[in-house]
Chain A
Amino acid sequence: MRLIPFDYAVRNLGRSPLRLALSVGGASVVVLLVIVAAGFVRGMELALATTGGRHNVMILGAGSEESVERSEIPASTPSLLEASVPGIRADAGVAYVSPEVHAMMPVECESTGAARQVMMRGVTPAASLVHEQVRIVEGRWPIAGQGEVMIGAASATVLGVPSAALAVGGRVRFDGRSWEIVGRFASPGTIVEAETWIPLADLLAASRRETISCVIVTLQPYDEASGEGAEFADIDAFTKTRPDLELVAMPERDYYGALARFFGPVRLVAWLTAALIATGGLLGGLNTMYAAFASRIRELGTLQALGFRRAAILWSMVQESTLATTAGSLLACAAGVWLLDGVAVRFSMGAFGLVVDQQVILVALASGVALGVAGTLPPAVRCLRPPIPEALKAA
């Protein structure tokens, strides 16, 4: 089959600059929306997948496996665990055992008056051992009883205030009193960054509870040769030997992985929205293409009269359209990388950043190409259907 030169498709694009601009612009907008949806889904997945240490195990109340905020376990659990399970990581005699309270509380930024629900984590200094991703980037660790808190780097997004409003030295208000921000921490790519950390004793008092939410321990990886270290099964075994404590153990990453599954419907809705928008874009594109190709029926008939087969002409039209949508997709990808990548999004668990990575770009480009092909085929087939004499006589 003799194909129409590629040049023909390229030069056809320039015949109507306005139509070209509309095609490219339309494709850009549709693909940009696909990037937003894909970036949202990817950002949420990555944030939940990377939260939690590789060797960390979370011990929480039986029946609270889906929400640590609901969990209540005896405050004596950390010391029992430390004494009963050999192989918990320790440095300089300090075990990597972090008792914690997780509570969602209304927090107000005093400088702006903005107030929202924020994930509060009551911690002891041992939290800095088990949460290796967390780094204090400014200020210091809060001291118990002094009314001090440490703010995560994404807390400003959660509260909907400028970052400067939560600078070290600033104040937030919760539980009817004012708390000074003495430090800021970062935990890139995780949802921990959206939390506010305060001393465990202070949060116990603020939330009027005597029990803790969970214990997070870091295990020394088990070495079969030396018999040193521990595995998840050791912690699980501990929970079985103390049924009276009503504990359940799960790898910390599994906990956040389960949360990712919990948010599955949200991701589905994001994809569905993007698909609906893309369908709208496609239908709009089809309309434009029908109009554009209808005015070229005589030209298409001439090409057939010159000996080009319908398939060759169809291929040329697909090239022409796909070039425009791919150009639009590339523009959308560039805009996505520059404008959307890392943009923080608030959700019930805190906040995460949109991620525009290779996978998202691939999805975006594939959408652009699909838009070009699917948007061309129906009008092109319709315009190529008339016999040559009829096509040549078309207005």
Chain B
Amino acid sequence: MRQAVRRVAVIAVAICCVAWGVADSLAGHAGDRPPDIAGMMKPELFPGAVEVSEAVAKGKPGEMIALRGHVPAKDGFDASRAIFRLEETPTADGVTPASDRPVATVRLVSAAGEPLKGSVEQQQRLKAGAEVFVLGTVRSGDGKAAVEVDAVALHVPRGGLPPGFFLKEADPAAKDVSEARTQPLKVGQDVTLRGRIGGGTSPFVAGRAIFTIVGRALTPCNEKPDDHCGTPWDYCCDSKAEIVANSVTVQIADPKGQPLRTSMKGRRGLRELSEVVVVGKVTAVGGEGVVVTATSIAVAR
């Protein structure tokens, strides 16, 4: 009788082990399904996000970092794990062969730090060529060509900037906005303008690739003695008419002419009073206002 009970117990344990194995294997299989990364997606980009090359050079293991780059056109995603690669976004005037570009390997992890399973390709706008902002912890890096990051948050702009949009060097022949505005600008005219981001309390539009730049003829409040204005980029010491006459609105547009659905503030260190050189075309002149659709931008200062 006891032997029979033992046999039944052994068989029961064996059945349990087999069932557990099957369940485990099924669970492993289920891990190939795309993970739910909606909670990781943030609506705004991470200001001050560094380029991949800077993340590679300066990222130290265990350090929190925000970086941006583009998913390569080929082999950017791991087929079974939530891992993708980010390449340094090439600048228009600094073309580097794809094989020589610094690369960040981004592994998506849960809040508990567990790596997520399943490919994330085509999830939440993550696809080949997409511009991606990553916030995470540096796992490892060689300081030269590659860095590995455990990402806890991502931002994929709905209208990412095209690769090569930013210029490394500002055109020294760029005209100051104030100088350019002394002559009437015409729609369709090619321009290269230099100016400082400002002209209002919020010169950037959150979620759209639009900002305003002001020429040197106007001095921001912080450059005036004994002025302690909290928002010197609004040029509040000057009249609105003067600000309009010495500024242009810069937009980065899609092929339909609509501003890209992404923020500019925080990209490549762009912020209020940053000096930029904009290369583009005048696309609208309404009243005293001028809109320039930019094809490239260099951050001069």
Contact with A along B61-99 (1 / 0, CB 8 A): 000000000000000000000000000000000000000
* A240-B212, A241-B291, A243-B212 as given contacts; A233 in contact with B207, CB under 8 Å: yes
Q: Of B203, B251, B258, B287, which contacts A242 at CB under 8 A?
A: B287
Contact between B244 and A240 (Cβ–Cβ < 8 Å)? no
Find the residue from A234, A236, A241 having the highest chain B CB count within 10 A. A241
The docked-state distance in angstroms from the alpha carbon of A234 to that of B207 is 9
Partner of B205, one of A62, A86, A224, A237: A237
**Chain A contacts for B205, CB-based, 8 A:** 233, 236-237, 240
The answer to whether A231 and B207 have CB atoms under 8 Å apart is yes
Inter-chain contact A62/B240, CB cutoff 8 Å: yes
A246 at the interface (CB under 8 A from B): yes
Let me know if A244 and B286 touch, CB within 8 A: yes
CB-contact partner of A224 in B158, B200, B243, B244, under 8 A:
B158
Residues of B within 8 A of A243 (CB): 199-200, 212, 243-244, 247, 249, 288-289
A75 interface residue per 8 A CB criterion: no
Whether B240 and A242, one on each chain, are in contact in the complex, defined by CB atoms closer than 8 angstroms, is no
Total number of residue pairs linking A and B with CB closer than 8 Å: 53
Q: Which A residues lie within 8 Å of B211 (CB)?
A: 240
On chain A, which size bracket covers the interface?
10 to 19
Q: Which of B245-266 contact A (CB under 8 A)?
A: 247, 249, 251, 258-259, 261
B249: chain A residues within 8 A (beta carbon): 240-241, 243
Chain A interface mostly = helix
Distance in angstroms between the alpha carbons of A86 and B206 in the assembled complex = 18
B203 contact set on A, CB distance < 8 A: 240
Say whether A245 faces chain B, with CB atoms less than 8 Å apart.
Answer: yes
Q: Are A62 and B288 in contact (CB under 8 A)?
A: no
Bound-complex Cα distance A224 to B124 (A): 11
Q: Which residue of A lies closest to B259 (CB)?
A: A237
Interface membership of B40, Cβ < 8 A: no
A62 CA / B235 CA spacing, docked (Å): 14
A233, A237, A243, most chain B CB atoms within 10 A:
A243
Best-surrounded residue of B205, B247, B287, B289 (most CB of chain A within 10 A): B205
* Known contacts A62-B200, A62-B240, A224-B158; is-contact A242 B289 (Cβ 8 Å): yes
Nearest A residue to B258 via CB reads A86
Q: Which chain B positions have C-beta within 8 A of A245?
A: 287, 289
B284 beta carbon closer than 8 Å to chain A = yes
- A63 vs chain B, min Cβ distance (A): 9
User: What are the residues of chain B within 8 A of A242 when measuring CB–CB?
Assistant: 286-287, 289
Please report which residues of chain A, range 231-256, place their CB below 8 angstroms from some CB of chain B when the two chains form the complex.
Answer: 231, 233-234, 236-237, 240-246
Complex Cα spacing A191 to B86, Å: 52
Partner of B244, one of A231, A233, A234, A244: A244
* CB of B282 within 8 Å of the partner chain: no
Task: Give the top 9 A-B pairs by smallest Cβ distance, nearest first.
Answer: A244-B287, A233-B207, A244-B288, A244-B289, A237-B208, A243-B289, A233-B208, A243-B244, A236-B205
Sample of 10 more A-B contacts, CB < 8 Å, known A86-B258, A240-B210, A244-B287: A62-B240, A234-B208, A236-B206, A237-B259, A241-B249, A241-B286, A242-B289, A243-B243, A243-B249, A243-B288
- 14 CB contacts below 8 A, A to B, read A62-B240, A231-B207, A233-B207, A237-B210, A237-B251, A237-B259, A240-B203, A240-B210, A240-B211, A241-B251, A243-B244, A243-B247, A243-B288, A244-B286
